[in-house]
Amino acid sequence: MAIEVRVPTVLRKHTAGERRVSGQADDLRGLIDDLGARHNGLRSALVADDGSLHRFINVYVNDEDVRFIKGIDTPLSDGDVVSILPAVAGG
Amino acid sequence: MLLSDPALAIGDTPLVRVAALTPANYEIYLKLEGNNPTGSIKDRVALYLIEDAERKGAIGQGSRIVEPTSGNTGIALAALCVSRGYKLTCVMPENTSSERRTLLELYGADIVFSPANEGSNGAVRLAKEMAADDEDFYMPFQYGNQANVRAHYETTGPEIISDLPDVGAVVAGLGTGGTLTGVGRRLKEHNPAIKIIAAEPEYGDLVYGLRNLDEGFVPPIFDPSLLDGRIKVDSQRSLAATRALAQNAGVFAGVSTGAALSVAQRMCTPDRLPEGTKIVVISADGGWKYLSTGAYDAGDTSKLAEDLAETVWA
């Protein structure tokens, strides 16, 4: 299953400058493992030692924040778009 | 309505139904915060921040105030500082609309720009440094001050309940998290079944900055446990919805209103909200302060959205 992953500027050092990469997995945990195996340093940039997503990272599946779906266990299907964005302030 | 002071005109904003932009079997209402005296929801927050500081004795005649802002909070604070005799310095990313600069200068505020490539978090960093280096500065710090949340818990939330007691969902933009936290807390006390949804702006690369992720920022006052969902909206969709709002409902709103409206429209399916649900969308401001960005110009909307993507619009 092909999942499109959008990578923010700060993480492109791990993807040879690519803003879009693709991965194969049936949930977010699997996707991060898959990406980590091919893009050195990406996994530790996204996931803390306890296995949860880093506090300053937001991950969206088809625009929805996974923290409000099933977190790192959020299921994925073919054609889903996963976006990674740094947390920013407004106001 | 006769009032003895402009600050008394803050709040009690209209809640208007926009049937033309609502999918069948749902109701969407906009709370028009652009009707506040300086044109945004931040008038509520600024008043609470200033009155909180006065009550604590932290500021008085002639005090100097510094605050990081993407614009609206600064403008609202600046207007209040005029009549109360405070000197305001706003720290703002340089990639904000020119109207913000014009208005702040008109109100007599000083502006310190933070670098575009640090994104909006750069303004927070710089204002904190300035406050730490100069003890004379008072920093209300909207991102960490419970007075921000209280403004919405005590005013925005109760107004929604009073106008629409059977509200089923609220959608608001995520900036400081003050609106979502204050309104969310108040509405869930009224009815725990009410869904609170965040519409998060998605910008172009520039706004996110080039810095290390460990320098990311989650506002301390933001309580995500009150949220039922968080959906990001890019400049393209926000702009399309904002323009449709003007063209089909006659409402001229800021770009973040389009973001929240498009999230509300997305929620209008039975697997997300039961049919018949009344959804309130917080319209944080009017469109006036974004005219110079070209967002409302005639032309190819996708091209306009591309230019807008590098401007902080929430």
Count of beta carbons in the 10 Å neighbourhood of residue B27: 18
Per-residue pLDDT band for A1 (boundaries 50, 70, 90) equals: low
pTM of the model: 0.94
Q: Compute the mean pLDDT over every residue in chain B, rounded to the nearest whole number.
A: 94
Residue A57 to residues A67, A76, B215, B300: CA-CA distances in angstroms? 11, 19, 11, 33
Question: Quick one: average pLDDT of A39-49?
Answer: 91
Number of domains in chain A: 1
d(CA A67, CA A50): 16
Residue B209 pLDDT more than 80?
no
* Residues on chain A touching B230 (C-beta within 8 angstroms): 58, 64-65, 67-68
Cβ contact B216–A9 (<8 Å)? no
- Is residue A32 domain-resident? yes
Query: Phi/psi at B66 (nearest 5 deg)?
Result: -125, 140
Residue of B213, B230, B314 lying closest to A57 (CB–CB): B213
Cβ contact B143–A89 (<8 Å)? yes
- Does B142 lie at the interface with A, CB-CB under 8 angstroms? yes
In CATH, what number is assigned to the domain containing residue A22?
A: 3.10.20.30
Closest chain A residue to B74 measured between Cα atoms? Answer: A91
Half-sphere exposure of B181 (CA within 13 A, CB side): 23
| pLDDT of res. B308 | 81
Per-residue pLDDT band for A64 (boundaries 50, 70, 90) equals: very high
Give all domains of chain B, ordered by start, each with its CATH number: 6-35+156-301 (3.40.50.1100), 42-138 (3.40.50.1100)
- pLDDT tens for B90-124 read 999 898 888 999 999 999 999 999 988 787 788 99
Out of B114, B235, B238, B256, the active site residue is B256
- pLDDT tens for B20-59 read 999 999 999 999 999 999 999 999 999 999 999 999 999 9
Per-residue pLDDT band for B210 (boundaries 50, 70, 90) equals: low
Q: Residue A30 belongs to what domain range? A: 2-86
Q: Give this complex's ipTM.
A: 0.91
d(CA A33, CA A17): 20
- Is residue A27 domain-resident? yes
Residue B181 pLDDT more than 80?
yes
Cβ contact B212–A10 (<8 Å)? yes
d(CA B94, CA B262): 28
Out of B42, B195, B278, B289, the active site residue is B42
- Residue B42 falls in the annotated catalytic set: yes
Collapsed DSSP state (helix, strand, coil) of residue B269 = coil
Question: Among residues B103, B92, B105, which one has the least CA distance to residue B40?
Answer: B103
* Residues on chain A touching B68 (C-beta within 8 angstroms): 89
Question: Among residues B140, B139, B127, which one has the least CA distance to residue B49?
Answer: B140
Closest chain A residue to B219 measured between Cα atoms? Answer: A89
- Asked whether B308 and B235 are in contact (CB, 8 A), the reply is yes
d(CA B40, CA B32): 9
Q: Which regions of B140-253 does DSSP assign to beta strands (E)? A: 169-173, 195-202, 229-234
